[in-house]
């Protein structure tokens, strides 16, 4: 329980995710987008944007590594509020992504490489894409 709410109340409320009435072609399209295309394109775009572009420029402009890491992490976390179906879930997504941003930013700064972060981000996205893809194609 979180704030007196069950896990279902925090994440879903009364959401209806039934896709049984959708045509099969639309289910397959949604599965392709969710399971393959999103993980493939999202990981490099976000890592290049937040760690490659914003972080490096902020570090150079402020001469502070921590400001350069924290500000993009905040932005990265804020964008994920929309992923929650409830405000509480959005805050939890945001907090988790903020922590990822700090960790990824620290790794990017210390090692000077984005490719390992892009790969880790891709694997993370893939795990969140494969599960919905399975349910979409299964029809439930």
Residue 115 lies in a domain: yes
Range of the domain at 139: 46-140
Residue 54 lies in a domain: yes
Provide the whole-model pTM.
0.75
Residue 2 lies in a domain: no
CA distance 76 to 94: 8
Say if residue 88 is exposed, middle or buried (CB neighbours under 10 Å; 0-12, 13-18, 19+). Answer: middle
Residue 77 lies in a domain: yes
pLDDT, tens digit only, all 140 positions of the chain: 556 666 665 555 666 556 667 777 877 787 777 778 888 899 999 999 999 999 999 999 999 999 999 999 999 999 989 887 788 888 998 999 999 999 999 999 999 999 999 999 999 888 877 777 777 677 65
Cβ–Cβ under 8 Å, residues 77 and 95:
yes
Number of C-beta neighbours around residue 107 at 10 A: 17
Which of 1-39 are b and which e, b meaning 16 or more Cβ less than 10 Å from the residue's Cβ? Answer: eeeeeeeebbbeeeeeeeeeeeeeeebeebbeebbeebb
DSSP 139: T
Number of C-beta neighbours around residue 111 at 10 A: 11
Residue 76 lies in a domain: yes
Residue 31 lies in a domain: no
| Domain count across the chain | 1
CA distance 109 to 24: 46
């Amino acid at each position: 329980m979180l704030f007196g709410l069950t896990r279902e109340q925090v994440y879903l409320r009364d959401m209806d995710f039934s896709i049984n009435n959708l045509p099969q072609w639309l289910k397959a399209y949604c599965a392709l987008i969710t399971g393959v295309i999103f993980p493939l394109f999202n990981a490099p775009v976000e890592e290049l944007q937040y760690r490659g572009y914003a972080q490096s420029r902020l570090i150079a402009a402020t001469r502070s590594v921590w400001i350069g890491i924290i500000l993009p992490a905040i932005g990265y976390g804020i964008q994920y509020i929309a992923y929650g179906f409830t405000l509480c879930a959005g805050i939890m997504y945001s907090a988790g992504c903020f922590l990822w941003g700090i960790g990824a930013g620290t790794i990017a700064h210390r090692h000077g490489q984005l490719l390992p972060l892009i790969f880790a981000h891709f694997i993370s996205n893939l795990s969140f894409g494969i599960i919905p893809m399975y349910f979409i194609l299964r029809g439930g």
